[in-house]
Amino acid sequence: MTRAPTAADAAIAVVMTVDNATVRAQVPARYLLCDFLREQAGARGVHVACGHGVCGACTVVVDAVPVRACLMLAVQADGCVVQTIASLPALEGAAPGDSGLTRLQRAFRDHHALQCGYCTPGMLVSTASFLAANPGPSRGQILDHLNGHLCRCSGYANIIAAIESVRP
Question: Would you list the DSSP string of 44-70?
Answer: TT---SSSSSSS-TTEEEETTEEEETT
Contact between 31 and 3 under an 8 Å Cβ cutoff? The reply is yes
Question: What is the CB neighbour count within 10 angstroms for residue 42?
Answer: 14
Among 16, 59, 83, 149, binds other proteins (CB under 8 A): 149
CB of 112 to other proteins, least distance (A): 5
> Which string of x and - marks every residue 8-47 that binds other proteins (by CB under 8 A)?
x-------------------x-xx---x--x----xxxxx
> Which string of x and - marks every residue 104-143 that binds other proteins (by CB under 8 A)?
-x--xxx-x-xxxxxxxx--x-----------------xx
CA 101 to chain centre: 16
Closest residue by Cα to residue 29 from 1, 9, 6: 9
80: left (phi over 0), alpha (psi -120 to 50) or beta: beta
Can residue 101 be called a binding residue for other proteins (CB under 8 A)?
A: yes
CB of 6 to other proteins, least distance (A): 5
Could you list the residues that contact other proteins (CB under 8 A)?
Answer: 1-4, 6-8, 28, 30-31, 35, 38, 43-52, 54-55, 57, 84-86, 88, 99-101, 105, 108-110, 112, 114-121, 124, 142-144, 146-147, 149-160
